[in-house]
Structure 1
């Protein structure tokens, strides 16, 4: 019959269409095999760990570890025991520490050198500290040199005022010392603060404190049994420095006079 071939052709085309579909769609088993392959990320030829830890990065870590941070602890002699305890603990953390009080070292040159030598300046502030000229002169010099200043309030009920109050307000860190002394928490705060400072090493006009003799700038003013009298003269612009010289001579029991030539007689 004439229609039969047409029907068979249509059926044949349908079979061929199904055959094509069967070849393009994988079986369920094949999908299970292929799916994990698609979800598995392709590993690159490079090593991610190698990319993170480059030689330059490791070199920076080594250089940071090799930098020695010099810490100067300034205090009144009443707080010397606390300062020495703090110095010992910071030394155990690989910081290089020196302690400077109002009395030691007595040499002006040695005192100024210690401030220049320091990378971080720690001040144990108290009422006695504020009232003592040498203590205030030291912290003012550290401020003038733009040293990072850390303030530790040795007396919890004392609030610094005037110039010391202004310096304390601008300190990189201010810590109140607890009654039990240098606690682990205080030490951790100090260590983190010191380590986070940008250290700018400057060897100009700086002598290693270990090599400096405390009395290398002193002149023997005594000749035999006779002690001479010293007159310190200055004008208004040099009063601060002249006062330092005068106080230094007085502390060594020398006969000293002081005169400001800018003042009328």
Structure 2
């Protein structure tokens, strides 16, 4: 038997370049499938981003409207019982609520902080309110820092005049207490008015009132580390008290 070299017949066949290209290039249908897949992928990615963006804004939207509204009720001490009933009812409706009278709190720092803390400023006005310097000082400050002011007339036969009359005229709402005082109708109206206000939350120079109450004897009049000079003004009758204040400041290394 003779041994001859074995050759593969296919090795001697000429290569068809077109055939090689045909096997490496996808068909038109394949190209369309690839494009469709890419397009679907891009759309899916775009939809995902859009969904995430919508979710983000929805969270922001709900956070904005679900944030608890801070309400400050101011009055003369003669109307404090009415103000306290209003406060209790508004707290029951999930509002944060504090009352401020012409005597409480006594610290001007705490009083100013309460006005800044509030989102809506409710003023229960009366003749006594108009005559009290502290009451007028408070409502003027609320006006100056552009708080939404709701005026409640505590006396049916009282018409505010002067500065109080002007502020009342520019209030977001003015209402009269009915014969039942803080009836369900009054509270419902107040709740709707408060909820419809455009709330601008601002934490600048605002301290939680609860913390100020807990540290009422340790109110820091100076914010930060900036040095400042304190001037104590008085008349002859107040010289003794001024000296006590001065001595206390000096003992705390204040100039």
TM over 0.5: yes
Gaps spanning 5+ residues in structure 1: where? Answer: 1-53, 220-229, 235-248, 258-265
Equivalent position of 1:186 in the other structure: 186
1:67-123 residue CA offsets vs partner (Å, 9 max, x unmatched): 110000000000000000000000011100000000000001000000000000000
Question: Who is 1:166 aligned against?
Answer: 166
Contact 2:234 2:242 (8 Å CA) reproduced: no
1:121 is matched with: 121
1:75–1:100 contact (8 Å) kept in structure 2: yes
Q: Which residue in the other structure is 2:210 paired with? A: 210
Specify which structure has the higher proportion of helix. Answer: 2
The answer as to whether partners of 2:90 and 2:97 remain within 8 angstroms in 1 is: yes
CA contact (8 A) 2:87 2:98 kept: yes
Query: TM-score, normalised to structure 1's length?
Result: 0.61
> RMSD between aligned alpha carbons?
2.8
C-alpha contact 1:130 1:160 (8 A) present in aligned 2: yes
Residues of 2 paired with 1:61 and 1:90: CA distance? Answer: 23
8 Å CA contact 1:119–1:200 kept in 2: the answer is yes
Indicate how the Cα distance of structure 1 residues 218 and 58 shifts in structure 2: closer, same or farther if over 3 A, else same. Answer: closer
Give the match for residue 50 of structure 2: none
Aligned to 2:21: none
List aligned pairs for 1:1-265, cutoff 5 A: 55=55, 59=59, 62-212=62-212, 213-217=215-219, 232=233, 255=241
What is the Cα deviation at residue 233 of structure 1?
A: 5.1
SS of the counterpart of 1:165?
A: helix
TM-score for both structures, normalised by structure 2: 0.64
Q: What secondary structure does 1:128 align onto?
A: helix
Displacement of 1:215 after TM fit?
3.3
CA distance in 2, matches of 1:87, 1:117: 16
Greater percentage in strand: 1
Cα displacement (A) at 1:178: 1.1
Rounded Cα–Cα distance in structure 1 between residues aligned with 2:179 and 2:220: 40
In 2, the alpha carbon distance for the partners of 1:91 and 1:231 equals 39
Q: Secondary structure at the match of 2:216?
A: coil
Aligned pairs, number: 178
Deviation of the 1:217 alpha carbon: 4.0
From the superposition, tell whether residues 215 and 106 of structure 1 become closer, same or farther in structure 2 (CA, over 3 Å): farther
Q: Secondary structure of the residue that 1:215 maps to in structure 2?
A: helix
